[in-house]
């Protein structure tokens, strides 16, 4: 019997998972950003969740009131680029606060126009809504022998202080907040300069 074989995972999807190193300073910056922002639901999405208005970006990001947060994101972007074999370049970032109250959720969507998307968990508790990622290779589900191991959603618990980075095209959503506590995350998109 020939035992010389291997499995090649040919089309992997890299999801970066880490925690921030300057937690207290970042939490304080975000707390200030939240206090100066207004939140609304996108009427086209139904009763999903609340998003910060443009004042978050204008007041917090533009005025460098999120120095530690931006510095931390940059460090993780560099790590992610190194792992996926992409030469780090300068980039533009857009960001917003996502607020989930009781029974709020995040519909399945992607940020397809972005090179990298990500989120940082400012406030979360058990059962306040997990992020999940859909299998990007839909045709795999037609082969039963792959279905259970490779085709299920990848579900991730959003612990406070955790940061996730993933390809902008990857479809994801957030399960319903089954608590009375708010779940707050900072979402962001990264687009590398093409020049």
User: If we measure between CA atoms, which residue out of 33, 132, 16, 9 comes closest to residue 81?
Assistant: 16
pTM check: above 0.75: yes
- Say if CB 167 and CB 116 are below 8 A apart: yes
- Say if CB 78 and CB 155 are below 8 A apart: no
Mean predicted confidence (pLDDT) in 81-94? 93
Domains of the chain, first to last: 16-192 (2.60.120.620)
Residue 74 to residues 54, 87, 119: CA-CA distances in angstroms? Answer: 22, 14, 13
The residue that leads in pLDDT, 61 or 125, is 125
pLDDT value of position 65: 76
How far apart CA 98 and CA 173 sit, in angstroms, is 12
Q: How confident is the model at residue 35 (pLDDT cuts 50, 70, 90)?
A: confident
pLDDT value of position 14: 93
Q: How confident is the model at residue 43 (pLDDT cuts 50, 70, 90)?
A: confident
- Say if CB 30 and CB 95 are below 8 A apart: no
pLDDT value of position 147: 64
For 115, left (φ over 0), alpha (ψ -120 to 50), or beta?
Answer: alpha
- Say if CB 188 and CB 73 are below 8 A apart: yes
**Range of weakest confidence among 53-57, 115-119, 178-182:** 53-57
Strands (E), the chain: 16-19, 39-41, 50-52, 91-100, 106-109, 116-123, 131-133, 154-156, 162-167, 172-174, 183-192
pLDDT > 70? residue 38 = yes
**Range of weakest confidence among 35-44, 109-118, 139-148:** 139-148
**What is the SS3 assignment for 107?**
strand
């Amino acid at each position: 019997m020939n035992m010389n074989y291997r499995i090649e995972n040919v089309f992997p999807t890299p999801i970066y998972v880490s925690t921030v190193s300057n937690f207290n300073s970042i939490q304080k910056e975000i707390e200030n950003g939240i206090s100066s922002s207004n939140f609304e639901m996108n009427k086209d999405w139904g009763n999903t969740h609340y998003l910060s208005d443009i004042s978050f970006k204008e007041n917090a990001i533009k005025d460098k009131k999120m120095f530690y947060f931006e510095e931390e994101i940059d460090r993780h972007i560099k790590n992610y680029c190194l792992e996926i074999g992409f030469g780090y370049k300068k980039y533009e970032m857009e960001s917003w606060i996502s607020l989930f109250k009781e029974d709020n959720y995040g519909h399945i969507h992607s940020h397809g126009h972005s090179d990298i998307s990500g989120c940082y968990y400012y406030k979360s508790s058990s059962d306040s809504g997990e992020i999940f990622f859909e299998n990007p290779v839909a045709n795999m589900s037609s082969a039963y022998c792959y279905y259970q191991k490779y085709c299920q959603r990848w579900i991730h618990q959003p612990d406070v202080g955790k940061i996730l980075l993933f390809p902008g095209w990857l479809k994801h959503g957030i399960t319903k907040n089954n608590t009375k506590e708010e779940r707050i995350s900072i979402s962001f998109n990264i687009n590398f300069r093409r020049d």
